[in-house]
Chains A and B, each alone.
Chain A
Amino acid sequence: MLKVNNLHAGVEGNEILNGINLEVKAGEVHAIMGPNGSGKSTLASVIAGKEEFEITEGNIELNGVDLVDTSPEERAHKGIFLSFQYPVEIPGVSVTNFMKTAINESRKARGLEDMPANQMLKLIREKSELLEIDRKFLSRSLNEGFSGGEKKRNEIFQMAMLEPKLAILDETDSGLDIDALRIVANGVNKLKSKDNAIIVITHYQRLLEYIIPDFVHVIHEGKIVKSGTKELALELEDKGYDWLKNESVV
């Protein structure tokens, strides 16, 4: 599904990603771990199309199509979703209205008519029940005054509504207590299928107890320095990142 080939990217001449190679197949869950500043979030942003980053070498393919020259919204229409670490507040626009706009813009891009109102309501009801979201929550302004847990749960609700092929969850666990973490992880697990793929970006192993990855990659100084199965995450939890840093120097 996703192929990242020798990806080099940076901001204003400072290279942050130094040749990332990553392949994610449908039905897989990949975890990307690494210390602060290693390039994890940059990789997520670059895959989602953030224009601030310049790709200097390599490419990103989704189902064989090169994404490098496409805008973030085009990538969303093609099925990429990025859950933000810090979701943006939009006062005056309810969660429901926001989702209507997002869904209908995607439909427009695919040459479809707007989704009929009753179908939209049904979809909203279905997905909010799936994620145990109170209906009242949906009429509140997007992310305004939401707690950390509510913001993250709302990100997963949006993911459920948009049904992406590839979802990237950027530090979805940060700032969550254990109960909120469990709810968010359960939501993600319910959305997992053989047709989609998920990349979980995290600093800690904690989230991976709930969202079990098929593969774990460790990123350091903009490169994947080690890949393995879920046991690698446990090893990192035990030993920290330092042994990997040393390894990469060698």
Chain B
Amino acid sequence: MDLKDKLVSSFLAFENNIDVDHPVHDIRSEAIKNFELKGFPNRKEEAWKYTSLNSIQKVDFSIFPKETNALEYKDVKRYFLHEIDTYKIVFIDGVYSSFLSETTHDGVDICLMSAALSKPMYKQIIDVYFNEVASKDESLTTLNTAFSKEGAYIYIPKNKMPKKPIEILHFATGNEAALLLQPRNLIIAEENAELQIIERHQSLTSNEVLTNCVTEIFAAKNAIIDYYKVQNDVKNASLIDNTYISQKSNSVVKVHTFSFGGKLTRNNLNYYQNGEYIDSTMKGVTILGEKQHVDHHTLVHHRQPNCESHQDYKGIYGEKSMGVFNGKIIVDKIAQKTNAFQQNNNILISDKATINTKPQLEIFADDVKCSHGCTIGQLDEEAMFYLQTRGIPKKEAAALLMYAFANNVLASVRIPELKMRINRLIANKLGVQLGFDL
């Protein structure tokens, strides 16, 4: 049986274990119908031209893990931002781990989607927000919606700010030969609320893992959200990350995506501006080697006047790795005085590495400022020579230049300990010890 058929037929079994009378279940039933109709995307579709899911579909993924493994904190400590205190929402093989988590209901809700979907006190919010901004026809999103059951649920009321950053971590332990995970996150920041989130998907074995994640984010007026995605998974782990963001007036939502690992990673990052004076910022550093593949698809839909969007993605590709950047900007006719900036710069450090980069601008307003630029190059020889004349060997010199190249993306990371961590991940990825933390 192929993966699509297996998923569709599993839906009946899934229904046996959930509350089918909850209104969300109508949304799930709708979604599985859509997925059944569409199936997995293929390379004939423009949005999937450079990323093939064929090999993934041949894997016999387990959809409901049989049993869960326990993890000791000491074994996974290094994946947490343990230098500082954080709230933690942790899942092991898709199942919530209360032992590793630190949630709260003290003025803010930092807890679980399963709780939000089952407890009456959350029903009103779920009715308003669940599946509100996520696509109803993109097939992988609808697949996630159909099986949505668990994930992070974060609700920050008006004028509130959690005391510390929130980490969302998903571990896969390899208790199945191949595991499919479909976390579903819902994040709501009410008027004037502020929060910081770090999300990470980490496999702990060499068994195959595929994560198809959907995150919906709602930023009300004046809300500020910083979202950091750390993608440094092992080589048999693949991630399809679908993020949908709805912003109201004067809100600021920044998403940083650091892609250093994994087998296949596809980031679908979608912003919808539903107010004025909005700032939507997305930044990324991608450093790949081996046969890794990362595909960034961004969308900013400017639907109201006087808003801004900023995109800055840097990529460094070695060995036989492959990168894709596709940045789509839509400016509606009403969205006058839009400022939309998009930048994608790439360095190829191997003859066999590939990058496909494409800006896609659809502008219907006439008084807008839109700029886009993409570059593909090699390391500057004169700069290499400069560093070498200071006694720095080629490999270290190249690493310093690559770090400098990615630096302005790191400059906007607002959690210093996270910035240090990313710096160290970059140094590791580049295989250098520079005698100081980058």
Contacts and interface: CB of A to CB of B under 8 A. Distances in A.
B58 interface: no
Contact of B385 (A50, A92, A106): A50
A72 B387 CA distance: 9
Interface in B384-426: 385-394, 396-397, 400-401, 403-404, 407-408, 410-411
B389 A101 contact: no
Contact of A93 (B380, B385, B400, B408): B400
Contacts of A141: 407
A98 B403 CA distance: 12
A48 B389 contact: yes
A90 B407 CA distance: 9
A102 B434 CA distance: 9
Contact of B391 (A86, A87, A105): A105
Given A76-B391, A90-B401, A92-B411, A101 B382 contact: no
Contacts of B392: 73, 101-102, 105
B377 interface: no
Contacts of B76: none
A101 B396 contact: yes
B133 interface: no
A31 interface: no
Contacts of A123: none
B154 to A, nearest CB: 31
B383 interface: yes
A101 B386 contact: no
A76 B438 contact: no
A38 B392 CA distance: 30
Interface string A168-197: 000000000000000000000000000000
Given A91-B404, A93-B403, A114-B435, A81 B389 contact: yes
A104 interface: yes
A92 B438 contact: yes
A12 B382 CA distance: 17
Contacts of B394: 71, 73
A61 B45 CA distance: 63
B391 A162 contact: yes
A89 B405 CA distance: 10
B72 interface: no
B17 to A, nearest CB: 50
Among A73, A80, A82, A84: residue with most chain B CB under 10 A: A73
Contacts of B99: none
Nearest to A50: B385
Contact of A101 (B380, B383, B411, B436): B436
Given A50-B385, A52-B381, A102 B391 contact: yes
Nearest to B382: A88
A102 B390 contact: yes
A101 B396 CA distance: 9
Given A93-B400, A97-B436, A101-B396, A82 B389 contact: yes
B403 A105 contact: no
B413 to A, nearest CB: 12
Contact of A90 (B385, B388, B396, B400): B400
A236 B400 CA distance: 42
A90 B404 contact: yes
A203 interface: no
A109 B396 CA distance: 13
A92 B389 contact: no
Contacts of A48: 385, 389
B283 to A, nearest CB: 14
B434 A101 contact: yes
A16 B390 CA distance: 25
A77 B386 CA distance: 14
A86 B383 CA distance: 10
Given A81-B389, A88-B383, A141-B407, 8 more contacts: A76-B388, A87-B386, A88-B380, A93-B407, A98-B390, A101-B392, A102-B390, A102-B391
Top 9 closest pairs, chain A to chain B, by CB: A92-B407, A72-B388, A76-B391, A106-B391, A102-B390, A88-B386, A88-B383, A91-B407, A104-B435
6 contacts: A86-B382, A91-B404, A91-B407, A92-B438, A101-B392, A162-B391
Interface of B: 380-383, 385-394, 396-397, 400-401, 403-404, 407-408, 410-411, 434-436, 438
Interface of A: 45, 48-52, 71-73, 75-77, 80-82, 84, 86-93, 97-98, 100-106, 109, 114, 141, 158, 162
